[in-house]
Structure 1
Amino acid sequence: MLIDGLQCGDFRRDIFEQLRDGGFTCVTNTLEFWGGAIDSLDAIGKWLDLERANSDIMTIVRSVADIKQADANGKVGILMGFQNSGMFQGRIRFPELFAQLGVRVVQLTYNIQNDVGGSCYEPSDSGLTRFGREIIGEMNTYGMMVDCSHVGERTTLDAIEVSQKPVAVTHANAASLKPHPRNKSDKVLQALAANGGVMGLAIYRNITPEAACDTVDGWAEMMARTVDIAGIDHVGVGTDAGHYVGTPELDWMRQGLWTRSEQYGAGSKVVATMPPPPSWLSDISKMGLLHDALTRRGFSAEEVHKLTAGNWLRVYESNFG
């Protein structure tokens, strides 16, 4: 099994085929970055259309039982998620409604502060708001996993403290291995582990050590060093792979509707365009090479399963059954 905590972009038939060929059991999609409730409902509707058009190869999953059934049927399970909480629009009843529609993962903030908390790119992270605390309570109640990938350090630590369920960082790396505002400090990783959560490690060049981009064995080494920080039960895969992401899509991710100014997200003025994938990952199907690389690194079969699927399954079970 191979479970990916987050991918984004335009999922077309060929992407589903690559995911199948790479042995992916379940992938969390990105329904929206900036949209409100109506945009988010439209995004869910489009994915229902995608499911109908590709029902022989993929299926939307809403539970661990669904994920295991998709695996048994040879299909890629798609777990529906958002990279922002804007669809709640300040309404405390909306988490329950979106949960009923099958949404299972919600990142608290994207690249700017919102009414829930602070982003990793804000010069000052104000922490989790009163509304944010209420929202996490609703998410815990109705089966939505809290994601803190783009969330600021203080807000992330607040969320971990407040949540009654394990919290996830679905797509990031350890800041001690690759310093970057998007990556997570050892303090966050250790708090995440104490909460029972998982961090999915990313392949995105801007936040990934060079050696981990050069070879799959280098990526497995990054995973091993992250295990040294957080523990074997708290690390997984969260590639942040972007499908058919060109300049217009990248500009939308970075700017949304909130600014006229240039924004670089995890990039910079020097590296402003979409970086190429890791050298060993010509397409997402090559992620299946990871199992052997982890074995070569010295992980047992049980540990490889935890890192590639088992840890996510445990956290999913705790959050939404």
Structure 2
Amino acid sequence: MLIDGLQCGHFTRDVFIDLKRGGFTCVTPTLGFWEGTIESLDAITQWRELERSSSDLMLIAKNVADIQRAHETGRVAVLLGFQNTNLFEDRIAFVELFADLGVRVVQLTYNNQNELGGSCYEENDSGLARFGREVVREMNRTGILIDLSHVGDRTTLDVIRFSERPVAITHANAASIFPHKRNKSDAVLRALKDNGGVIGCATYRNITPEEACASVKGWCEMVARTVDIAGIDHVAIGTDEGHNTTQADLDWMRKGRWTRGVQYGAGSEARPGKVAKPQWLSSPGELGVLHDGLAAIGFSAEEVQKITSGNWMRVYSAVFG
């Protein structure tokens, strides 16, 4: 089995053919970044239509039994996910509503502070707000996995302490390995371990060491260093891979409707646009090489299984069953 905690972009039949080629069992796509309720409902509808037209390749999963069924029938399971809480539009009741519609992963904040808490890009991280605490507990109750990838460190630590279920950093790396506002401190990774959660190590070049982009061995060695911090039961895969992404998509991710100014997201003035994929990963269909790559640097078969699928399955089971 091979599970990726987060991808984004435009998914098509060709994308799912490639994912099947790579041996994927499950992936969480990004259905939205800044979209409100109606736009988010539209996104769910579009994914249901894709499921109807591509039922031979994929299915929308609502629990681990669905993921296992996809694996057994040679299809890719999809966990519907959003990278912001705008879909709830300040209504606590909408958490349950979207859970009932099959949403299984939601990030608390994206690139800006919102009503729930702070973002990794704010100069001052406010911590988890009162409304944030309400949403955390409601997501715990309704079976939605809390994603903290773009969330500020103070807010992240607050959520980890407050959540009654494991949480996830679906797509990031350790800041001690590659310093970046989007990456996570050792303090956060140790707290994540105590919570029972998981970090999905990313392949996105802007937040990943150059040596980890240059070769499978380099990326697997980065994973090993992350395991040294967080423990073998708390490290997995979260590539942040983008499918068919255009500059317009990048502009929407970075700017939404909230600014007219230039925003680079995880990039910079030196890297303003779309960055090259890792040299060893020109498409997700090649990600299956990680099984051998992890084994080659010393991980046991059991440890490889945890990193490539088992740790995600444990967290999914604890959160939405």
Q: Please give the TM-score of this superposition, normalised by the length of structure 1.
A: 1.00
Match of 1:53 in 2: 53
CA RMSD for the aligned pairs? Answer: 0.5
Q: Distance in 1 between matches of 2:243 and 2:285?
A: 12
Q: 1:41 maps to what in 2?
A: 41
Q: Which amino acid aligns with 2:35?
A: G
What do residues 73-122 of structure 1 show as CA deviations (whole Å, max 9, x unaligned)?
00000000100001111111011000000000000000000001110000
Residue of structure 2 in register with 1:133 after alignment: 133
Cα deviation, 1:232-266, whole Å, max 9, x if unaligned, reads 00000000000011111100000000000000000
Partners in 2 of 1:170 and 1:19 — Cα distance? Answer: 18
SS state of the match for residue 200, structure 2? strand
- The SS at the match of 1:233 is helix
Q: Deviations over 1:267-313 (max 9, x none)?
A: 00110011010000111111100000000011111100000000000
User: What amino acid maps onto 1:149 in structure 2?
Assistant: S
The percent of aligned pairs where both chains have the same amino acid is 63
- Mapped pair 1:87 → 2:87: yes
Structure 2 gap ranges (5+): none
Write the distance in 1 (CA, Å) between the matches of 2:100 and 2:229.
Answer: 36
Write the deviation string for residues 118-143 of structure 1: whole angstroms up to 9, x where unpaired: 10000000011000000000000000
Q: How does 1:235-250 map to 2 (within 5 A)?
A: 235-250=235-250
* Alignment match, 2:283: 283
What is the aligned partner in structure 1 of residue 148 from structure 2? Answer: 148
Query: Using the alignment, how far apart are the partners of 2:247 and 2:87 within structure 1?
Result: 25
- Distance, in Å, in 1 between the alignment partners of 2:72 and 2:33 is 32
Distance 1:129 1:38 in 2: 25
SS at 1:236's partner residue? strand
Aligned to 2:314: 314
CA distance in 2, matches of 1:19, 1:211: 25
Q: Return the alpha-carbon distance in structure 1 between the equivalents of residues 92 and 247 of structure 2.
A: 35
Residue equivalent to 2:232: 232
Distance 2:33 2:52 in 1: 24
Runs in 1 of length 4+ with deviation above 3 angstroms? none
Alignment match, 1:252: 252
Alignment size in residue pairs? 321
Residues 192-237 of structure 1, C-alpha deviations (whole Å, 9 max, x = no match): 0000000000000000011100001111100000000000000000
Q: Residue 5 of structure 2 corresponds to which residue in structure 1? A: 5
Determine the structure 1 residue equivalent to 2:270.
Answer: 270
Task: Report SS of the residue matched to 2:106.
Answer: strand
Structure 1: unaligned runs, 5 residues or longer: none
- Structure 2 distance, partners of 1:270, 1:302, is 41
* Distance in 2 (alpha carbons) for counterparts of 1:283 and 1:170: 19
How far apart, CA to CA, are the structure 1 residues paired with 2:305 and 2:240? 20
The answer for the alignment partner of 1:204 in structure 2 is 204
Counterpart mapping for 1:286-297 below 5 A: 286-297=286-297
Tell me, what secondary structure is at the counterpart of 1:81? strand
Instruction: Report what 2:101 is aligned to.
Output: 101
Q: Distance in 2 between matches of 1:122 and 1:245?
A: 26
Equivalents in 2 of 1:159, 1:58: separation in Å? 32
Q: SS of 1:104's equivalent?
A: strand
Matched to 1:83, the amino acid is Q
The one-letter code matched in structure 2 to 1:75 is: R
Q: Provide the secondary structure at the position in 1 that maps to 2:125.
A: coil
In the TM superposition, residue 44 of structure 1 has moved relative to its aligned partner by: 0.2
**Whole-Å separation in 1 of the counterparts to 2:285 and 2:223:** 19
Rounded Cα–Cα distance in structure 2 between residues aligned with 1:214 and 1:11: 26
Q: C-alpha displacement at 1:12, in angstroms?
A: 1.1
Q: Does 1:158 align with 2:158?
A: yes
SS at the partner of 1:200?
Answer: strand
One-letter code aligned to 1:226? T
Equivalent AA in structure 1 for residue 185 of structure 2: S
2:112 paired residue number? 112
Aligned amino acid, residue 256 of structure 1? G
Deviation of 1:151 (Å): 0.3
